[in-house]
Structure 1
Amino acid sequence: MAKARSITGLDPQAPTGENARLIASVRLDEMYAWEPYVDDPCSIQELHNLRIATKRLRYTLEVFEDVLPEACVPIAVEVSQIQEELGAIHDSDVVIALLRLCLVEQGNAIYNGHIGSTGTTHQQPWMEEHSLVRPALAAILLDQAVIPTFEERQGLQSLLLKQQRLREQQFATFHTHWNRLQERDFRQEVLDNLHIPASSPVEVKGL
């Protein structure tokens, strides 16, 4: 999970609203740091990181709602919707990963890893980079004693296809919403409503 940037240079003597606007601008930058991946439905981890960054911006806007400009209220609504759309995608990614693990057969490498002669799981680079299933749960799903029957596999395969189609729809919904926001220059709209000055003393330290 992407770490939040640390923020220095805030003025403890300044009004809360002033510091809140600067914090929100940093959280906005964090969200847009993941924008290069929004067109790629296969960027699973990056889309998850975008969701986390979006959540941080949302919470910042909500926590400081009373001291931020009123125009930030509809912005928080848009950000919340983006977060929920990305959350639905992530939920589907987890379900798909679980179903693929359930469908693994002894001796066959599949997606995240394969069962070796000892029955242990050997992770592949893809799993190390995009791990969505906790190791303890993966070990249970890959246990030779619980390999699904032919009939169970048919049901799981059908469910997998259904979930993949749902995920495609969820990504399309998010992607359409994101593009609609960019058409109206949402990032600049947020900065304008936050009344961020052209030069601010706030400093950020990397992700």
Structure 2
Amino acid sequence: MRQRCASKSNHAFRREPHTMARAKPITGLDSQAATGVNARIIARIRLEELYSWSQYVDNPYNVRELHNMRIAAKRLRYTFEVFEEVLPEASRAIVKELTHIQDELGALHDSDVMIALLRLCLGSQDSGAAYEEALLDTKKYESKKGFALPADLVTDLLEPGVAPTAEERYGLERMLLKQQQQREEQYSAFRQHWYELQARDFRREILSILDAY
């Protein structure tokens, strides 16, 4: 039987919207120029936007910044896909790498959400306000493959003042440990991939493609 839990603070359940970083404004477009010219301008701006987040790669606890890096990679990828017909064929390989980066950071973000959710269920105070909005929208994450907590159980566990049973707590703690270990592996894989790209000067590679006509 669940008991009232006085240690759970209402602060942990305050709904604060998590806003992604705004896209960098596109400037310098020429309405008289060919589509390919403007496509390259947009792609260069999106490339700089992606690399503006690279300073946060070495710290695995930069949760919000790594999430924004994923969004930046997606924006750059979409730019290449939308303008595929007016960009060099070599840009297709860039799209594959950007998709890989996006997938890696997406998996990392999913783990961050799950970890924060498990901490909330356990009554932790350090789950991070940035994710509370997403965590409380449990139906969204329940539909994802690998989401292990039923939405009804999550809603019950997140009720302020209600503590999980001893059996539930044991299961949640085991899941939290497993998810944290998986998150470490995901971060290590992403960081290694990112530095492999930098070793071959991925940024210069993209700029060279954009410079070609």
TM-score (norm 1): 0.80
Partner in structure 1 of residue 195 of structure 2? 179
Q: Tell me, in whole angstroms, the C-alpha distance in 1 between the residues paired with 2:28 and 2:120.
A: 47
Which deviations, in whole Å up to 9, do the C-alpha atoms of 1:68-87 show, x marking residues without a partner? 11111101110110011000
Which deviations, in whole Å up to 9, do the C-alpha atoms of 1:83-136 show, x marking residues without a partner? 1100000000000000000001xxxx6314xxxxxxxxxxxxxx34xx112188
Task: Structure 1 unaligned segments of length 5 or more: list them.
Answer: 113-126, 198-207
Q: Whose strand proportion is higher, 1 or 2? A: 1
Contact 2:120/2:158, CA 8 A, preserved across alignment: yes
Pairwise CA distance, 1:144: 4.3
TM-score (norm 2): 0.78
Q: Tell me, in whole angstroms, the C-alpha distance in 1 between the residues paired with 2:112 and 2:76.
A: 23
* Match status 1:165 vs 2:181: yes
Where in structure 1 do 4 or more consecutive aligned residues deviate above 3 Å?
138-142
Task: Structure 2 unaligned segments of length 5 or more: list them.
Answer: 1-19, 138-153
Partner in structure 2 of residue 85 of structure 1? 104
Contact 1:21/1:196, CA 8 A, preserved across alignment: no
Pairwise CA distance, 1:153: 0.3
SS of residue in 2 equivalent to 1:45: helix
Residue among 65, 71, 82 paired with 1:63: 82
Identity %: 56
RMSD of aligned Cα (Å): 2.1
* Match status 1:96 vs 2:118: no
Q: Tell me, in whole angstroms, the C-alpha distance in 1 between the residues paired with 2:57 and 2:32.
A: 39
Q: Tell me, in whole angstroms, the C-alpha distance in 1 between the residues paired with 2:114 and 2:134.
A: 15
Q: Tell me, in whole angstroms, the C-alpha distance in 2 between the residues paired with 1:96 and 1:102.
A: 10
Partner in structure 2 of residue 22 of structure 1? 41
In structure 2, relative to structure 1, the CA distance for the partners of 1:135 and 1:183 (3 Å cut) is closer
Letter in 2 for 1:134: E
Give the paired residue count: 177
